[in-house]
Amino acid sequence: MNIKFVINVLGFLLILTGLLMLTGLPFSIYYGDNDIFVLLLSGLSTALFGSFLWFVSRKNLVKEISKREGYLVVTLGWFLMSVFGSFPFFFSGYIPSFTNTFFETVSGFTTTGASILTDVEALPHGLLFWRSMTHWIGGMGIIVLSIAILPFLGIGGMQLYQAEVAGPSKDKLHPRVQETAKRLWAIYVLFTAVETLLLMFGGMSLFDSLCHSFGTLATGGFSTKNQSVAYYQSTYIEYVIIIFMFIGGTSFSLHYLALKGNVLNYFKESEFRFYISFTALVVLSTSLYLILHNDQNIESAFRDSAFSIISVISSTGFATVDYQTWAPFFTEIFLVLLLFGACAGSTSGGVKMVRYQLLFKNSLLELKRLIHPQAVIPVRQNSKAVQPDIIAKIGVFVLLYFFIFAIGSVILTITGLDSTSAMGAVAACLANIGPGLNVTGPVSNYSSVTDVGKWVLSFIMLLGRLEIFTILILFSPSFWKK
């Protein structure tokens, strides 16, 4: 194990975290808030500690690393960032319990958007900006960002990239991983800028539109208002956010191909077709129900259902209405939606469409294989045959996912949550969505969860964001065996 390299990269990540913490300062100064000192202190101490790590490990550094170092750097990196990232909240005294600050920061970095704050608006602007910034960094991934901006990572970059972007399909935009990372971040910045402009056009302040754009594109879900997006009472703003949540749930390599070439490239990808038709189906049938049974007018029924459903599928977690009050069975429907997730290669979390698509196809083909036991019948995706070991790996992923979901729900019920809230909370945290059901539902938050529950959920959020294997592998004995 190349421990030196691990420490060196961790040092860099902390320097980066520290510097990014300071980005909210202009807003604090402008609004005359009292968090300037805390932000400076936390930012500089984080950067200083990072420099220290970097300094002690800089000599005789070998940049050759294997998969193991990749997994270790990414897991430890995300953990350390969450610890240091929670300093501003903790030392400012706005979130006095460390459990709560850690939960909030993990929820930020993993783009979950589950909050323990009951009064978001009481926070000063610098802290709120940092809170939304954690989303934005975590959405595309801080490792991907480091690869894009730090030239020194070199060959090791690919191992790190694969540990952070662990999705089932790895389409590289460029043979060099640094170029791929640059392109991904460029599109990400571009979309964020466009959304910010559109939101400002809808009457939001620069601060709010930036924070909400961060929360949307990262499919995070933190808002700067207690009522989330419902605060603005604006049809236009809701539609803008609906569209950008959907964009956040789409593969960013696909965005790149579509923007560079032809917009129709979107529809050449089978997963995207599945994503858009699945979403459309659920949204339209829900709208129909709202129109027929709840007497809503057509436009608001469509908007409410599109907002809530796309928010959950894309794993964003913004809320405008309490969907659980539509009808009793929507609790169950949303629990199922909480287990979905959007496209691989997007900023969204969860199991993701392509995994379900492949497993579903494989299960149907299994019936065919039973009738023709001698035939080799591969699963096809985008008219190419998929290797059986990829299918097998996806099967393992989904199994582990459901297992973590089940065990997590049982633990959360033992800590005192009712079963629906527990399942909702675990599903929402594992898929990095945010609001779950009942006590942790769209009109509520996680402040009532016990401390043990919050630590369990924080761990689950990290597991979900790094797609399970990256973290679990550290617990397997073969990882540590030389």
Partner 1 sequence: MNYKVILNIIGFLLILTGILMTTGIPFSIYYGHDDIIAILISSGISLLAGVSVWFFTRDADRQQLGKREGYLIVTLGWLSMAIFGSIPFVIHGSIPNYTDAFFETMSGFTTTGATILTDIEAMPYGLLFWRSLTQWLGGMGIIVLSLAILPLLGIGGMQLFSAEVPGVTKDKFHPRVKETAKRLWGIYVILTATEVVLLLIGGLNLFDAINHSFTTMATGGFSTKNANTAHFDSVFVQYVFIVFMLFAGMNFTLHYFALHLKFDAFKRNTEFKFYVLFIFLVTIFIMFIHRPHHEFELEESFRQTLFHVTSLVTTTGYVSSDFENWAPFSRMIFFALLFIGGCAGSTGGGIKFARHYLLFRNGFLELKRLVHPRAVIPVRFNGKSVSPEIISNVQAFFILYILIFVFASIIVSLLGLDFASAAGAVAACLGNIGPGIGIVGPAGNFAALPELVKWILSALMLIGRLELFTVLIIFSSAFWKK
Contacts to partner 1 by CB under 8 A: 67-68, 328-329, 331-333, 335-336, 359-360, 362-364, 366-372, 388-389, 391-393, 395-396, 398-400, 402-403, 406, 409-410, 413-414, 416, 418-420, 422-423, 469, 472-473, 476, 478-479
User: Which CB sits closer to partner 1, 38 or 163?
Assistant: 163
Closest approach of partner 1 to the CB of residue 6, in Å: 16
Closest approach of partner 1 to the CB of residue 480, in Å: 9
Closest approach of partner 1 to the CB of residue 1, in Å: 12
User: Which CB sits closer to partner 1, 48 or 410?
Assistant: 410
Closest approach of partner 1 to the CB of residue 419, in Å: 4
Closest approach of partner 1 to the CB of residue 392, in Å: 6
Q: Do the beta carbons of residue 204 and residue 212 sit within 8 Å?
A: yes
- 397/392 Cα distance (integer angstroms): 9
User: Containing H/E element for 132?
Assistant: helix 125-140
User: Which CB sits closer to partner 1, 259 or 335?
Assistant: 335
Cα atoms found within 13 Å of the Cα of residue 110, Cβ hemisphere only: 35
User: Which CB sits closer to partner 1, 241 or 398?
Assistant: 398
Closest approach of partner 1 to the CB of residue 400, in Å: 5
User: Which CB sits closer to partner 1, 418 or 451?
Assistant: 418
Closest approach of partner 1 to the CB of residue 297, in Å: 24
Residue 20 makes CB contacts below 8 A (sequence gap 6+) with 133, 137
- Residue with the two structure tokens 């009292």: 34
Closest approach of partner 1 to the CB of residue 328, in Å: 7
User: Which CB sits closer to partner 1, 109 or 334?
Assistant: 334
Helix (H, G, I), strand (E, B) or coil at 384: strand
User: Which CB sits closer to partner 1, 383 or 475?
Assistant: 475
Of the candidates 198, 245, 432, 433, the one whose C-alpha atom is nearest the C-alpha of residue 208 is: 198
Distances (CA, A) of 315 to 172, 302, 341, 472: 24, 19, 6, 22
Residue 374 makes CB contacts below 8 A (sequence gap 6+) with none
User: Which CB sits closer to partner 1, 198 or 468?
Assistant: 468
- 338/312 Cα distance (integer angstroms): 6
**For 244-269, b where at least 16 C-beta lie within 10 A, e where not — what string?**
bbbbbbbbbbbbbbbeeeeeebbeeb
User: Which CB sits closer to partner 1, 264 or 367?
Assistant: 367
Closest approach of partner 1 to the CB of residue 425, in Å: 12
What DSSP character marks residue 387?
A: P
Cα atoms found within 13 Å of the Cα of residue 330, Cβ hemisphere only: 23
Q: Do the beta carbons of residue 222 and residue 135 sit within 8 Å?
A: yes
User: Which CB sits closer to partner 1, 321 or 400?
Assistant: 400
Inter-axis angle of helices 125-140 and 3-21, nearest 10:
140
Q: Is the dihedral of CA 251, 257, 262, 265 positive or negative?
A: negative
Closest approach of partner 1 to the CB of residue 277, in Å: 17
Closest approach of partner 1 to the CB of residue 272, in Å: 22
Residue 180 makes CB contacts below 8 A (sequence gap 6+) with 161, 172, 173, 174
User: Which CB sits closer to partner 1, 41 or 411?
Assistant: 411
Q: Is the dihedral of CA 46, 51, 56, 61 positive or negative?
A: positive
Angle in degrees, CA 434, 425, 318, rounded to 5: 20
* Length of the chain, in residues: 482
CA 235 to chain centre: 26
